[in-house]
Structure formats: C-alpha cells, structure tokens
Amino acid sequence: MKKLLSILILSVLLATILATPALAKGPVGERISLWNDATMEFAADAPFYIEHGWALEKQDLPRGVFDFILYVDGVPVAPAYSLTFLERDPWALYRFQGFNFPEGMTGEHTFEGSWIAPCRWAVKYGDYEGECALPNEPVESKHSTVTITFVVD
C-alpha cells in the first residue's frame, strides 16, 4: 500500500512539473532580491524583475504548500511566470515565481516578500515561531520588506 501511494504521489508530482511551462515570459532587466530587509536605490524607469521561491529536498515533498507572494505597496502582485525544475544530484525540486517590471518604476515603493510553507517545516527550518494546529497548514515561514527609491540618473 505504501509503495502504491508513493508511486501515485510521484506521478502527480511529475505531471505537475511537466505541465508547468518553463518560462511563459522570462525575466526582464536586472534582478532585485528581497531575501533580506533593506533600503536601496535603483535607476528610475529601468526594467527589473523579482524572482523568489523554494528549493525543496526530497524529504520535504509532498508535505504541503510552498509558495512565494509579492506585495508592492501593500498590494499583492500576480507572477509573470513560474519556473519549476528538478535536479537529480543532489536531488531537489525548484519552484520559483517571477515578477517582471519591464517599464521600471519611479519614486519610492515598498516590496514585501512572503514565503509560505507547511507549518511543521516552517517551525523546523523557517522563521515561524507559532504553534501548528495542523502540521501541513500553510503559514508564513519568512517575510522580508525592501524599500526602493527609484532615482533618475
């Protein structure tokens, strides 16, 4: 029974990977990372992208939702593309969300990244310090805020 369940889970996982387009709309411009809280300057009207997500080892799957959500000035932004691929050595599944800003921006803006993970994983490996009512309940594992002033050169 365990072997059948493992085969079924692996089949669903592979179907998900194969059904995900590699890069519907690839990244544009320079990458801005939100990994750590920061304040920075960036050229006004210059294209840029934000790309974050997860690198999951075999033992982390399939135990719940791993996601990344981007907020710009408090408003959630839909990803321009998703990237999912599997590496075999060492075994890891990569799932990233990409957000393009091809026209750039002006002024000052706040970018927030929210990494979502199953509660049990977030307590063990992430920054989550709460209690887990359910081990696979999605919670915010990491949160970062970056304030960017887009300046004219």
Strand ranges of the sheet holding 38-43, from the earlier edge strand across to the other edge: 38-43, 138-151, 107-118, 67-72, 75-77
Is residue 104 within 8 A of residue 43, CB to CB? The reply is: yes
Per-residue pLDDT, 23:
40
Per-residue pLDDT, 60:
64
Q: What is the CATH number of the domain that holds 58?
A: 2.60.40
User: pLDDT tens digits, the chain, 153 residues: what are they?
Assistant: 433 333 333 333 333 333 333 344 789 999 999 999 999 999 999 999 999 999 888 776 656 789 999 999 999 999 999 999 998 878 888 999 999 999 999 999 999 999 999 999 899 888 999 999 999 999 999 999 999 999 998
- Which residue range forms the structural domain that includes residue 112? 2-151
Angle, CA 36 vertex, CA 49 and CA 26 arms, to 5°: 15
Is residue 113 within 8 A of residue 78, CB to CB? The reply is: no
Per-residue pLDDT, 12:
33
Total tally of structural domains belonging to the chain: 1
Per-residue pLDDT, 61:
65
Per-residue pLDDT, 8:
32
